[in-house]
Amino acid sequence: MTELKYISGFGNECASEDPRCPGALPEGQNNPQVCPYNLYAEQLSGSAFTCPRSTNKRSWLYRILPSVSHKPFEFIDQGHITHNWDEVDPDPNQLRWKPFEIPKASQKKVDFVNGLHTLCGAGDIRSNNGLAIHIFLCNTSMGNRCFYNSDGDLLIVPQKGKLLIYTEFGKMLVQPNEICVIQRGMRFSIDVFEETRGYILEVYGVHFELPDLGPIGANGLANPRDFLIPVAWYEDRQVPGGYTVINKYQGKLFAAKQDVSPFNVVAWHGNYTPYKYNLENFMVINSVAFDHADPSIFTVLTAKSVRPGVAIADFVIFPPRWGVADKTFRPPYYHRNCMSEFMGLIKGHYEAKQGGFLPGGGSLHSPMTPHGPDANCFEKASKAKLAPERIADGTMAFMFESSLNIAVTKWGLKTSNCLDENYYKCWEPLKSRFTPNSRNPAETN
């Protein structure tokens, strides 16, 4: 595979043209009477026209045919995609899923769209407020099919298998330990090379941003220069029998036929683009004296709500780092949170639960549902010698955290057959260690 090229920077105003058509970008204007190479000009708006300049998102695409050149959309089966948060009764228990099973290619061909399964979510698509968490399980490429989402942005986290993603802006190769964001309305198609699995965070009505750094200063966490945007690439390809464009609209799937590939954009400019990021580039900040910084210090991207400091969703990672806190219980603390916490594991072993929480699985701790280290972790960490140590080497866990009260779907609770019914047992060995006659527990040893 030829090495792909990218433009560096988060949210930048960028311009790109396929080198096969030099000068394809109009000079000095967006919409000339006749575009270079007789292309069509098309604007893709990711925000209202009148949004403040700092949040205004749009790109101009110069393409062989405009995207309106298709037959009417018709409803198609939506498989396991849902935005019905009342399918089953709510469950306040700690929930954990074993690795979600990928269908065998020898038994049934399943591409990215057919392999989408909604696990949980909250909010309302029509009012542009909410989120959904999906699992994708696929074993074949999309071929002459593409997908776009009218409902929100998709943050894609591959866990097993790399993704070659064709977009209207160019091509991206996204591998495990990388993420990508395909923003609302952008058409894309995915090639896979093996049985493939991953996680998706979908947000409605808002876009992902870099978190504010406050007293951290100008540098740290996910640095803007490490986000990569594809460069323009086009194919002028007729598709005998028709190319299928699949749209998710108000939570339902629709399909339309057209005669050509949708990836016919010769040049583009703007700040509304897809992008990818390598999680290894995250600059970790951590406590160097005592106690914990809250896990918000590991935020890669945030989708803000209208309430200051409160997110519709945060994407948080727990990367390899040094643990040096003195006089401190170093694993994650026991916690009851007003937020919903979904966790996934890309690779390795999560420090608070060495067993049971496996790559390709997940967990959900709902608002005010208690959670924390299992009994074995607590026992070891309470007695450990507090020397500087490496934490999470070879591991990448992540969290989708939300201010919304997330509901689990029927597929998540029942149909997937992956729910770990014994999750609660990891805390059963915890016992009282109370020493009422000795303030210093060391005196009783």
Sheet strands (E) in 46-195:
58-63, 74-76, 95-97, 116-124, 129-138, 145-149, 153-160, 163-167, 170-174, 178-182, 188-192
Predicted confidence at residue 389, as pLDDT, reads: 93
Interval 40-55: pLDDT, tens: 999 999 999 999 999 9
Domain of 412, in residue numbers: 284-425
Task: Give the pLDDT of residue 119.
Answer: 98
Q: What is the DSSP letter of 412?
A: I
Residues 299 and 410 in one domain: yes
In a domain, 393, yes or no: yes
CB atoms within 10 A of CB 432: 5
- Rounded to whole angstroms, how far apart are CA atoms 367 and 183? 28
| CA pair distance 269, 169, nearest whole angstrom | 9
Is the Cα dihedral 21, 23, 28, 34 positive or negative? negative
For residue 197, is it within any domain? Answer: yes
* SS3 assignment, position 280: helix
**Residue 378 is part of a domain; what is its CATH number?**
2.60.120.10
The verdict on residue 27 lying in a domain is no
Q: Are residues 352 and 304 in the same domain?
A: yes
Residue spans of beta strands (DSSP E) within 319-388: 321-323, 340-347, 362-365
CB-CB neighbours of 198 under 10 Å: 25
What pairing do the DSSP bridges indicate for beta strands 311-318 and 299-304? antiparallel
CA angle 363, 416, 185 (to 5 degrees): 80
User: Which has the closest alpha carbon to 170: 112, 229, 236, 227?
Assistant: 229
Task: At 229, list the tokens.
Answer: 């945007």
Query: Strands 129-138, 116-124: parallel, antiparallel or unpaired by DSSP?
Result: antiparallel
CB contact at 8 A, 262 and 168: yes
In a domain, 59, yes or no: no
Helix, strand, coil: what percent of the chain each, to 5?
10, 40, 50
> Does the annotation flag 195 for ligand binding?
no
What is the predicted pLDDT for the residue at 445? 46
Structure tokens, 152: 């929100």
- Rounded to the nearest angstrom, the gap between the alpha carbon of residue 175 and the centroid of all alpha carbons in its chain is 13
Catalytic residue among 70, 134, 207, 292: 292
On whether residue 366 sits in a domain, the answer given is yes
Residue 33: per-residue pLDDT: 97
Residues 222 and 361 placed together within one structural domain of the fold: no
Count of domains observed in the chain: 2
Residue ranges of the chain with per-residue pLDDT less than 50: 444-445
Angle at 13 between CA 8 and CA 19, to 5 degrees: 65
Task: Note whether 185 and 230 are same-domain residues.
Answer: yes
**Residues 82, 188: one domain?**
yes
Residue 136 CA to residue 390 CA, distance in Å, equals 32
207 a catalytic residue: no
In a domain? residue 56: no
Domain membership flag for residue 182: yes
Residue 229: count other Cβ atoms within 10 Å of its Cβ. 22
Per-residue pLDDT, 354? 67
Quote the CA–CA distance of 296 and 309 in Å, as a whole number: 11
Sign of CA dihedral 277, 319, 137, 92: negative
**Phi, psi angle pair for 286, to nearest 5°:** -150, 165
Distance CA 361, CA 358 (A): 6
Tell me the pTM.
Answer: 0.96
Residue among 20, 369, 7 nearest 171 (CA): 7
- Residue 277 is classified by DSSP as E
Q: How many residues does the chain have?
A: 445
> Known binder of ligand: residue 371?
yes
309 with 397, same domain: the answer is yes
For residue 298, the surrounding DSSP H or E stretch is none
d(CA 402, CA 302): 10
Q: Write down which residue in 279, 304, 328 finishes a domain.
A: 279
Check whether residue 298 and residue 408 sit in a common domain: yes
Element (H, E) at 382: helix 375-383
Let me know whether 242 and 289 are in one domain: no
Does residue 244 share a domain with residue 125? yes
Same domain, 79 and 144: yes
The answer to whether position 38 is within a domain reads: no
**Structure confidence by residue, pLDDT tens digits, 239-275:** 988 999 999 999 999 999 999 999 999 999 999 999 9
Token pair belonging to 208: 């992902």
341 is in an annotated binding site: yes
Question: Do 303 and 237 lie in a common domain?
Answer: no
- 297 plus 246 within the same structural domain: no
